[in-house]
């Protein structure tokens, strides 16, 4: 897997847009019109670039620091190469606010929605134990095989390949460090919020979109940290998502209660799904180590009191022996029943949008 360093320098040299330092988000375009093809998987990452001796570069394999930077890219499985499309730098240590000049979500929308006819967009934030190589060659490859290939002409699936640990003994450090990934995730979220809330733009452009995001495992802690810090900075929520899904969640069981991170999450999404698997051994071990039950294996606290927009789905009865080879935690990518259900729901959304 490589990107030619000379080619990257050439892209920088001919970059047609480079923001002034006055903007909180400084955006660089390397490819104004990225094309999506079946062999490509779009992703964005906060990992820094690592240079190789042969003049190519990759993204750093193990990393947990905050970079204030996101690279928006695609990985080409046919050529084992990465294309860099955009770079965004947050010039402040605070979460971004205010107008984003030259927000490339408009270009992506016009290509995906207006040219390709794509109305359904899915973002995936994976969990622990993934070096960048694992994120690409294991996680993204399996997502592509299980979901992306059949949905290529119907939906867009993008992965946040955020920097986390990949060694088991460093798990608890990774939990603490997830706030760094949350700070960089805030860049993406702000740009998406601004785009989707541009009422003036959508007076003349169809807003017939479904935008969903799924957080898996420790990715749930990243999101929890993001929400807590957003609230501390008094940044109001924007109803951006059609659906938020929590899978294998390490969040505490009381996360939806008043005063906690996920309280009134309907300000950000129409629907919230919580997948609960009491056979999730990894979450059981985490619960014992922290003396705190996890939402992913015990479910939210007082489910009967949850508002209607939250759906709790107990999936223990569909967990198989094959799923247990991953200690019951990797079922999003190993369980065919759940995969079929998710694909059916996605196709229902697609059909509903086609009827609009």
Residues of the chain with pLDDT > 70, as a percent, come to 89
Residue 44 falls inside a structural domain: no
Q: Answer whether residue 21 shows pLDDT above 80.
A: no
What average pLDDT does the structure give for the chain? 87
pLDDT at 2: 56
Residue 123 falls inside a structural domain: yes
Q: Answer whether residue 329 shows pLDDT above 90.
A: no
The per-residue pLDDT for range 27-59, each reduced to its tens digit, is 999 988 888 899 999 999 999 988 888 877 789
**Contact between 296 and 331 (Cβ < 8 Å):** no
Mean pLDDT of 129-150: 87
The per-residue pLDDT for range 152-207, each reduced to its tens digit, is 888 999 999 998 876 766 777 777 788 999 999 999 999 999 999 999 999 999 99
Confidence tier at 124 by pLDDT (50, 70, 90)? very high
d(CA 264, CA 289): 29
Pinpoint the alpha helices (H) of 206-280: 219-232
Q: Tokens 């394999």 — which residue?
A: 61
Residue 135 falls inside a structural domain: yes
Look up residue 209 and give its DSSP letter.
Answer: -
Structure pTM? 0.89
Confidence tier at 17 by pLDDT (50, 70, 90)? very low
pLDDT at 8: 54
**Residue 267: which domain range?**
100-355
Residue 216 falls inside a structural domain: yes
How many domains are contained in the chain?
Answer: 1
- Domain CATH for 192: 3.40.50
Question: Is residue 342 within a helix (H) or strand (E), and if so which, with residue range?
Answer: helix 336-355
The C-alpha angle with vertex 334 and arms to 322 and 179, in degrees rounded to 5, equals 120
Residue 35 falls inside a structural domain: no
Residue 264 falls inside a structural domain: yes
β-partners of residue 27 are 88
The per-residue pLDDT for range 271-298, each reduced to its tens digit, is 999 999 999 888 888 777 666 789 999 9
The per-residue pLDDT for range 69-106, each reduced to its tens digit, is 999 999 999 998 899 999 999 999 999 998 999 999 99
Instruction: List CB contacts of 149: < 8 A, sequence separation 6 or more.
Output: 38
């Amino acid at each position: 897997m490589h990107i030619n360093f000379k080619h990257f320098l050439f892209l920088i040299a001919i970059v047609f847009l480079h923001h002034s330092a006055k903007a909180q988000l400084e955006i660089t375009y390397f490819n104004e019109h990225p094309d999506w093809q079946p062999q490509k998987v779009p992703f964005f990452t906060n990992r820094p670039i690592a240079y190789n001796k042969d003049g190519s570069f990759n993204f750093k394999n193990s990393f947990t620091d905050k970079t204030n930077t996101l690279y928006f890219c695609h990985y080409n499985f046919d050529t084992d190469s990465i294309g860099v499309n955009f770079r965004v730098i947050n010039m402040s240590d605070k979460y971004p606010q205010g107008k984003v000049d030259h927000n490339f979500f408009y270009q992506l929308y016009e290509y995906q929605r207006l040219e390709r006819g794509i109305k359904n967009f899915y973002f995936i934030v994976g969990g622990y134990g993934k070096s960048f190589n694992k994120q690409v060659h294991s996680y993204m490859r399996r997502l592509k095989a299980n979901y992306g290939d059949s949905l290529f002409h119907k939906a867009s699936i993008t992965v946040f390949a955020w920097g986390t640990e990949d060694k088991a003994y460093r798990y608890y450090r990774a939990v603490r460090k997830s706030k760094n990934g949350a700070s960089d995730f805030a860049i993406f979220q702000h740009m998406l919020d601004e785009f989707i809330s541009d009422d003036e733009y959508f007076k003349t452009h169809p807003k017939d979109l479904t935008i969903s995001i799924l957080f898996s495992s420790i990715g749930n802690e990243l999101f929890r940290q993001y929400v807590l810090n957003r609230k501390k900075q008094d940044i109001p929520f924007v109803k951006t998502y059609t659906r938020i899904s929590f899978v294998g969640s390490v969040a505490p069981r009381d996360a939806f209660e008043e005063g906690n991170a996920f309280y009134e999450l309907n300000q950000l999404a129409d629907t919230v799904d919580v997948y609960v698997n009491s056979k999730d051994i990894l979450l059981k071990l985490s619960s014992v180590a922290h003396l705190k039950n996890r939402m992913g294996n015990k479910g939210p606290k007082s489910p009967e009191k949850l508002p209607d927009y939250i759906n709790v789905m107990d999936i223990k009865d569909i967990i198989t022996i094959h799923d247990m080879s991953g200690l019951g935690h990797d079922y999003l990518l190993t369980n065919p029943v759940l995969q079929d259900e998710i694909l059916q729901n996605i196709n229902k959304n697609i059909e509903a949008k086609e009827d609009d």
